[in-house]
Chains A and B, each alone.
Chain A
Amino acid sequence: MWAYIVRRLFIGVALLLALTLVTFVLFFASPVDPARYACGKNCSEQQRDQARAALGYDKPVYEQWGLFMKGVVAGRDFPADEELRAAAPEVVTHCAAPCLGYSHLNSSTVNDLVKEAAPVSISLALVALVMWLVGGVLFGILAAVFKGSFIDRGIVGLTLVAYAFPTFFIAVFFLKYFAVKWELWPYPTYVSLADGGLASWLGNLIVPAFTLALVFMAGYVRMTRAFMLESMTEDYIRTAKAKGLKQRKVLFKHGLRAALTPLVTMTGLDFATLLGGAIITESVFAYPGLGLLTVQASDAWDLPTVIGVVVLAGSFVILMNIIVDISYAFIDPRVRLG
């Protein structure tokens, strides 16, 4: 078991290194001067040179990658200049490990930007997760129980249709029609848990989170339905029915169990992906999460922020993969032997 966990962690670290390296190569292989991106669109020649020196863009790509990795492990100073720090410590920003870089444009470390944006993305992801999981599993079971009937077709069809409309269309529809035109719901704006309390936080999250949940609902309905149908033909279900258990108990306690492992895997990975920011939903609703942060950074050519968020979001997924794999190994011994 321990050997498996160590091996899995080792692969995870290797993947993380590869992720950052590939990101660096992708962004620096272009013929465009990276300092131009890092410094923003409206940047004078002089500022650009400053940015280049401060961010180390005059060095080759692999060296910059090394610096970035050093920052992640041990922290970094911007600009990394011993003399400057001795002379004027106030202009040097220290970025503690795990340092994701320094946004010249915002005059702030990427960590600080992330710290501000992450709670929004996490809130959105959490509420959406609860919605699509509860909805997906319940509707999936319902569809399986009434297999082939009107109800089954309706559930599977409706969730497919909801999935088929582009997310930004649904988001704008909710905003412009539900909130503005028909005034069925107050215009949602992000209110943090600390500022507005639970009710305000949740109330404002419901519409964007529902938009997001619709994207995932269809997949979860289909998967739950398929696994339920498979497990409901098993002998142990017949036994459970024969010994007179209530339908509800048969479904939730015995039938659903078989679908649980793949559901947990899928949920974990989808959740990890969302933690990196729901770009489209956050853009339409103007929720200042990681997704909107990257959109703005990308529009303003703020390269360090983009790279920082890409690496962060990628590590969420890699980490979640490791967690899922290791929990699999606990459940099913065949995994760690194979």
Chain B
Amino acid sequence: MTAPLTPESALESHFVDEDQPEPDGSGPIVSKSPGQLARARFLKDKLSMVALVIVVLYVLAAISAPLLVKVGFLDPYATNQDLLNEFQLPIGAWGGISGDHWLGVEPGVGRDVLSRVWYGISFSLAISLTATVIAVLIGVSLGIVSGASGGWVDAIIGRAIDLTLAFPQTLMLLALSTVAVAFITETLGVPEGNPAQALYVVTVLGLFGWTGVARIVRGQVLSLREREFVAASQMMGASKFRLYFREILPNLWAPILVTFTLIMPAFVSAEAALAFLQVSIKQPTPTLGNVLSDSLRFAENDPVYFFVPAILIALIVVSFNLLGDGLRDALDPKGHQ
């Protein structure tokens, strides 16, 4: 996992950084902060930059989709039976790609595939982002408390992690869905259908996904709590809450950012898997996962419709992973040598 960001390692990287001018008198020696060094390293990493651009494009797509639907540029719900032949397959080569339908039309009902996947990105990213925020919030809080307080609190949180990991995740997500969605609609009063379904998915993904974050954060806190500023703040009578969340937490942003970037793609995949198991948001509202699982019926007859959502999922998963790796390499000078 992420190695601790100690000042020693930051100093080490000071000496090995290639951007530093040679101290032979040819130029002034410029000192850079660890943050500046990390940024320089990240900007130099071409693969991560490409990944970043793709991630930004997806985010832009996700934000713009609802607006474009409102304007009428995208129409994920309109059916076009006239574009389908007698086998309900799109007329024309490549899944019915045309000037009006850039990625063709859906077999069966003839909805525009571009609109479906574009709008689907919105829902997929919204779900994985919310679930990631939940997982990171739980993981960071429990990780800090666990690492900083130690003793029986640490032991209990450690066992809670073991217990959470012991549950067969996919199986639980699937099996609990009927019971939990009933609970959400009947007890919490959330409207039936997709709102309840979405709430269920983000909650369970968050509740099962926090363990990795907690472990990483705990490890970081274990090394941080030996530092002088923690002792100083304790001496000044800081409350536990202040110590944990005002003193220790700000030092953890780097590993948290990296884990955040690495959990996001896992949850994009998870949403797809859940859509396949009919647990995620359901049609006609599109997500990348449910568009892909809908396309399975036409896998060999309409390859365009089958491959487009799959490639879109794979692309964002790969990009987020590369971005996470790049951030880790940039922020962690030890791993960079």
**A310 and B168 in contact, given A19-B163, A294-B175 (Cβ under 8 angstroms):** yes
Binds A, one of B80-88, B105-113, B265-273: B265-273
Which residues of B have CB within 8 Å of A314? 166-168
> Which among B166, B187, B314 has the greatest number of chain A C-beta atoms within 10 A?
B166
Partner of B272, one of A30, A166, A283, A310: A166
> Which among A32, A269, A283 has the greatest number of chain B C-beta atoms within 10 A?
A32
> B57 interface residue, CB < 8 Å from A?
no
**A176 and B170 in contact, given A166-B276, A318-B162 (Cβ under 8 angstroms):** no
> B183 interface residue, CB < 8 Å from A?
yes
Bound-complex Cα distance A318 to B318 (A): 31
Interface of B is mostly: helix
> A317 interface residue, CB < 8 Å from B?
yes
Bound-complex Cα distance A37 to B178 (A): 9
Which residues of B have CB within 8 Å of A181? 300
The answer to whether B317 touches A164, judged by C-beta atoms less than 8 angstroms apart, is: yes
Bound-complex Cα distance A303 to B166 (A): 19
**A15 and B182 in contact, given A177-B300, A306-B175 (Cβ under 8 angstroms):** no
Closest chain A residue to B322 by CB distance? A160
Closest chain B residue to A26 by CB distance? B176
Closest chain A residue to B177 by CB distance? A298
Closest chain B residue to A29 by CB distance? B183
Bound-complex Cα distance A32 to B186 (A): 9
Q: Please give the number of chain B residues whose Cβ is less than 8 angstroms from any Cβ of chain A in the complex.
A: 42
Closest chain A residue to B293 by CB distance? A168
> A40 interface residue, CB < 8 Å from B?
no
Contact digits for B285-300, partner A, Cβ 8 Å, 1 yes 0 no? 0000100110010011
Which residues of A have CB within 8 Å of B313? 164-166, 169
Q: Can you report 29 A-B residue pairs in the complex whose CB atoms are below 8 A from each other?
A: A19-B167, A30-B183, A32-B179, A32-B182, A32-B186, A160-B321, A161-B318, A163-B317, A164-B314, A164-B318, A165-B313, A166-B269, A166-B273, A166-B292, A166-B310, A168-B273, A168-B293, A172-B296, A180-B300, A280-B277, A298-B175, A309-B168, A310-B171, A310-B172, A310-B175, A317-B165, A317-B166, A321-B162, A321-B166
Residues on B facing A (Cβ under 8 Å): 159, 162-163, 165-168, 170-172, 174-180, 182-183, 186-187, 265, 269, 272-273, 276-277, 289, 292-293, 296, 299-300, 306, 310, 313-315, 317-318, 321-322
Residues on A facing B (Cβ under 8 Å): 11, 14-15, 18-19, 22-23, 26-27, 29-32, 37, 160-161, 163-169, 172-173, 176-177, 180-181, 269, 273, 276-277, 279-280, 283, 291, 294-295, 297-298, 301, 306, 309-310, 313-315, 317-318, 321
